[in-house]
């Protein structure tokens, strides 16, 4: 599923089962989906409800198989993908493959554990792995890990959604 901007992410601000958000520098949404191993036959522009229906239809074909549906878009030179039930893209083998030749940031929340995890990968290798309890915990990443402002601008609202913590401006 391909879209632009964060409108669909905000539409799904409540993820009771958890989710995984993957950000890849310098990629198109289509390339990110390809590197994630998405089936081109099912890649199309869809709204959130259509994506849920697709996942339900594919799962109904084989009740024992869990189907990952990834919605993607781009912003500020980064492609992003969101799984709103599964954590397929959080697998280290997937992150290694997706990050070859680029930089990938991953945020995920597993509802069973309630923790939010941040990972940074560069050129197939892990650089950082940490629990995030508050969006402000990512502010040191720019200096510490050399992450630039555009990805921090992408990560901050996502962390707010993941942690359930939103900053309120006075």
Residue environment code for 29-51, b if the CB has 16+ CB neighbours within 10 A, otherwise e: bebbbebbebeeebbeebebeeb
Instruction: Give 5's pLDDT tier (boundaries 50, 70, 90).
Output: very low
Residue 3: its pLDDT value, please? 43
pLDDT in tens, 8-50: 444 444 566 777 889 898 999 889 999 998 877 766 655 556 6
Residue 160: its pLDDT value, please? 52
Residue 145: its pLDDT value, please? 64
The answer to whether 36 and 81 have CB atoms below 8 angstroms apart is yes
Choice between 65 and 5, residue whose per-residue pLDDT is larger: 65
Residue environment code for 72-109, b if the CB has 16+ CB neighbours within 10 A, otherwise e: bbbeeebbbbbbbbbbbbbeeebbeebbeebbbbbbbb
pLDDT in tens, 107-152: 887 767 767 788 989 999 999 888 877 666 666 666 666 665 555 5
Residue 69: its pLDDT value, please? 75
Choice between 87 and 99, residue whose per-residue pLDDT is larger: 99
Residue 15: its pLDDT value, please? 63
Which residue reads 């905000």 in tokens? 10
Residue 55: its pLDDT value, please? 61
Q: How far apart are CA 76 and CA 149, in angstroms?
A: 10
Q: Spell out where 54-94 has E strands.
A: 70-75, 78-83
Residue 109: its pLDDT value, please? 77
Which residue reads 């089962």 in tokens? 17
Residue 135: its pLDDT value, please? 60
Which residue reads 């890990």 in tokens? 145
């Amino acid at each position: 599923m391909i879209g632009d901007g964060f409108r669909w992410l905000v539409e799904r601000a409540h993820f009771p089962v958890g989710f995984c958000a993957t950000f890849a520098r310098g990629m198109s949404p289509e390339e990110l989906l390809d590197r994630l191993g998405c089936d081109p036959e099912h890649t199309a522009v869809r709204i959130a409800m259509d994506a849920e229906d697709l996942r339900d239809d594919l799962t109904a074909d084989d009740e024992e198989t869990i189907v990952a549906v990834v919605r993607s878009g781009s912003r500020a030179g980064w492609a992003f993908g969101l799984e709103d039930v599964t954590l397929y893209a959080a697998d280290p083998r997937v992150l290694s493959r997706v990050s070859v030749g680029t930089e990938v940031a991953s945020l995920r929340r597993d509802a069973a554990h309630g923790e939010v995890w941040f990972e940074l990968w560069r050129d197939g290798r892990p650089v950082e792995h940490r629990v995030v309890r508050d969006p402000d915990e990512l502010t040191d990443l720019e200096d510490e890990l050399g992450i630039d402002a555009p990805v921090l601008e992408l990560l901050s609202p996502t962390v707010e959604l993941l942690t359930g913590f939103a900053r309120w401006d006075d």
